[in-house]
Amino acid sequence: MVGDRWERVRLPGGVSIAIPSEFSSDDAQGMDSPVQSWSGDRINVLIDSSPMSDHLDRYEGDEEEFSGRLARVVNFDDAGTRVFAVHLDDPALTIAIRIECSEGESVARAILKSLTISE
pLDDT at 33: 65
Mean pLDDT of the chain: 89
Domain extents for the chain?
Answer: 6-117
Helix, strand, coil proportions of the chain in percent (round to 5)?
Answer: 10, 55, 35
pLDDT > 90 in the chain, percent: 65
d(CA 43, CA 37): 11
What does the DSSP 8-state code read for residue 19? Answer: E
pLDDT digits (tens, 9 = 90+) for 73-119: 999 999 889 999 999 998 999 999 999 988 789 999 999 999 999 87
What fold does the segment set 6-117 form as a domain? Protein Transport Mog1p; Chain A (3.40.1000)
Instruction: Return the number of other C-beta atoms located less than 10 Å from residue 33's C-beta.
Output: 13
pLDDT at 4: 79
Query: Which phi and psi angles does 56 have, rounded to 5°?
Result: 65, 20
When pLDDT is averaged across residues 33-56 and rounded to a whole number, the result is 88
